[in-house]
């Protein structure tokens, strides 16, 4: 495969990353992972519920097939995010971390200052840091300078299914990026994923749209096509938008008496 996604020197065939939250069953989660064709799946870390220990979700994930990308969801500041990242590594994950710092539970918007602080610490500790950020080109630059291996701007707040509402800002991030840009959060339909890829995003991450679908596996397959179509269109070169018509049929040789 020539068109591979390369993050931190590692090659991936798929440009669709999949989250594992909110699925109604492990079977639905596995169906979505498989049919997405994804190489990277995200997981979260939580306290064991002592009275109701869950069955271990990792037993459902083929670690040879997928890169497990733990997130720091639940962290409200840099300190908590760093703590979660270290715990994820101690729990047996490779040192890859999706850095999320979301102090506000209502919109779950990422805290730019705490995210940058945590990124600086984790990069020094040898983590490959994939930070979830608002679509802020200046912040994206700072993070890349700090050594993050991607930036992950949001299309819309987590779980809203609204699509690429931050289009203009994401376009600037893509134009200036020196690492892969992964559009994360808010993508609710395959057309949204295709839109992000047509713009030149390197990958997208989808969770809620798959988890809440009537048929998560089939929705994952649809997203796979959306991502591939968008990527192929980007590589093929999209025509420029114009304000006036430009005939696609010849304007001469009409049958007129």
Partner 1 sequence: MATMTLTVNGEPRELKAGTDLAQLLQQMQLNADCVAVECNHLILERETFATTTLNDGDSLEVVQFVGGG
Cβ(181)–Cβ(150) under 8 Å?
A: yes
Cβ closest to partner 1, residue 21 vs residue 95: 21
Cβ(36)–Cβ(223) under 8 Å?
A: yes
Instruction: State the nearest-atom distance from the C-beta of 183 to partner 1, in Å.
Output: 13
Cβ(66)–Cβ(38) under 8 Å?
A: yes
Give contact residues for partner 1 (rule: CB under 8 A).
19-23, 29, 42-48, 50, 53-54, 56-59, 68, 70-71, 73, 86-88, 90-92, 158, 185, 205, 207-208
Cβ closest to partner 1, residue 123 vs residue 212: 212
**Catalytic pick among 22, 98, 124, 225:** 98
Cβ closest to partner 1, residue 55 vs residue 243: 55
Instruction: State the nearest-atom distance from the C-beta of 12 to partner 1, in Å.
Output: 18
98 is catalytic: yes
Cβ closest to partner 1, residue 42 vs residue 166: 42
Instruction: State the nearest-atom distance from the C-beta of 230 to partner 1, in Å.
Output: 20
Order of all β-strands in the sheet with 16-19: 16-19, 203-206, 182-184
Cβ closest to partner 1, residue 19 vs residue 153: 19
Residue 34, φ and ψ in degrees, nearest 5: -65, -45
- Compute CA distances 41 → 97, 104, 147, 201, 255, whole Å: 11, 24, 22, 18, 60
Instruction: State the nearest-atom distance from the C-beta of 99 to partner 1, in Å.
Output: 13
Q: What angle do CA 199, 42, 1 make, to 5 degrees?
A: 55
27: left (phi over 0), alpha (psi -120 to 50) or beta: alpha
Instruction: State the nearest-atom distance from the C-beta of 125 to partner 1, in Å.
Output: 12
Q: What angle do CA 219, 202, 204 make, to 5 degrees?
A: 30
SS3 217: helix
Annotated catalytic sites, by residue?
A: 98
């Amino acid at each position: 495969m020539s068109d591979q996604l390369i993050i931190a020197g590692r090659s991936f065939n798929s440009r669709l990353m999949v989250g594992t939250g909110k699925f109604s069953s492990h079977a639905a989660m596995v169906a979505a992972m498989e049919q997405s064709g994804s190489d990277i799946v995200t997981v979260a870390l939580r306290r064991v519920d002592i009275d109701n220990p869950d069955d271990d979700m990792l037993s459902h994930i083929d670690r040879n097939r997928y890169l497990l990308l733990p997130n720091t969801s639940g962290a409200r500041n840099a300190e908590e995010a760093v703590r979660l990242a270290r715990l994820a590594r101690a729990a047996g994950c490779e040192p890859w971390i999706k850095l999320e710092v979301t102090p506000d539970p209502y919109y779950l918007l990422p805290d730019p200052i705490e995210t940058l602080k945590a990124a600086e610490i984790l990069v020094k500790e040898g983590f490959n840091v994939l930070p979830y950020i608002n679509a802020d080109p200046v912040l994206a630059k700072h993070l890349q300078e700090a050594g993050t291996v991607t930036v992950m701007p949001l299309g819309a707040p987590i779980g809203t299914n609204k699509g690429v509402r931050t289009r203009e800002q994401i376009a600037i991030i893509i134009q200036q990026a020196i690492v892969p840009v992964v559009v994360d959060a808010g993508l609710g339909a395959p057309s949204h994923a295709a839109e992000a890829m047509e713009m030149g995003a390197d990958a997208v991450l989808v969770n809620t749209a798959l988890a809440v679908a009537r048929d998560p596996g089939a929705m994952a397959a649809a997203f796979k096509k959306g991502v591939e179509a968008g990527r192929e269109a980007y590589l093929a070169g999209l025509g420029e938008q114009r304000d006036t018509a430009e005939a696609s049929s010849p304007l001469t040789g009409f049958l007129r008496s």
